[in-house]
Chains A and B, each alone.
Chain A
Amino acid sequence: ETGVTQTPRHLVMGMTNKKSLKCEQHLGHNAMYWYKQSAKKPLELMFVYSLEERVENNSVPSRFSPECPNSSHLFLHLHTLQPEDSALYLCASSQVFAGGFEQYFGPGTRLTVT
């Protein structure tokens, strides 16, 4: 148990669907992250929220929309996805301004777009 939970663990959706991924961290951290992991590729950073403000958006298509209502919760809203968006989506949290760079990850959501 890493203190970061993600739901759902698996999701199959059609290209016209709208769905949301949820992440919750119980570590008291002040920054949260969304990553995408595709086969044979490094983890790709998608979004960073620090102190509840979005501080980074790595050229992610607008069909992915993040939301961070408070420091413990992070959502990724999905709409009109493409089959190439099928991947493992990982949420992470960390404590910024604390001197270290460690991020703590959730188990991920395995997304399949049909």
Chain B
Amino acid sequence: DQQVKQNSPSLSVQEGRISILNCDYTNSMFDYFLWYKKYPAEGPTFLISISSIKDKNEDGRFTVFLNKSAKHLSLHIVPSQPGDSAVYFCAASGSYGGATNKLIFGTGTLLAVQP
């Protein structure tokens, strides 16, 4: 059973507009969430993260929002640029005692930003 779900396999947005990527999780023990971006023929690249003690984290054009009661997080990209076109993965982790930083990934959302 998937503990991290990205229900939209793809999203198309016009350049300059806002992109909103969504992620839902089922395990209430998760307390750290990350977003990764992946271009074809490359590995995933860490983008932004948020701890469960916060509900928002911002880094330039990227903002992640966390709604713990709904077990939902979202990534906002404003303004969207053609170079943002990639697959975006949501990932979650719990406090596993520090021995590993085990991450559970979603299936990804392909974002296409149209010029």
Contacts and interface: CB of A to CB of B under 8 A. Distances in A.
Contacts of B45: 2, 105
A45 B34 CA distance: 16
Contacts of B105: 42-43
Interface in B14-63: 32, 34, 36, 41-46, 49
Given A48-B100, A50-B100, A101-B103, A108 B43 contact: yes
A2 B43 contact: yes
A111 B4 CA distance: 26
B89 to A, nearest CB: 7
Nearest to B44: A105
A13 interface: no
Contacts of B89: 42-43
A42 B108 CA distance: 7
Interface stretch (A14-22, A60-68, A76-84, A90-98): A90-98
Contacts of A42: 2, 4, 89, 104-108
Interface in A35-72: 40-43, 45, 48, 50, 55-56
Interface of A: 2, 4, 6, 31, 40-43, 45, 48, 50, 55-56, 90, 92, 94, 96-97, 100-108
22 contacts: A6-B43, A31-B101, A40-B107, A42-B2, A42-B104, A42-B105, A50-B99, A55-B100, A92-B43, A96-B99, A96-B100, A97-B98, A101-B32, A101-B34, A101-B49, A101-B101, A101-B103, A102-B46, A103-B46, A103-B103, A104-B46, A105-B44
Interface of B: 2, 4, 32, 34, 36, 41-46, 49, 89, 93, 98-108
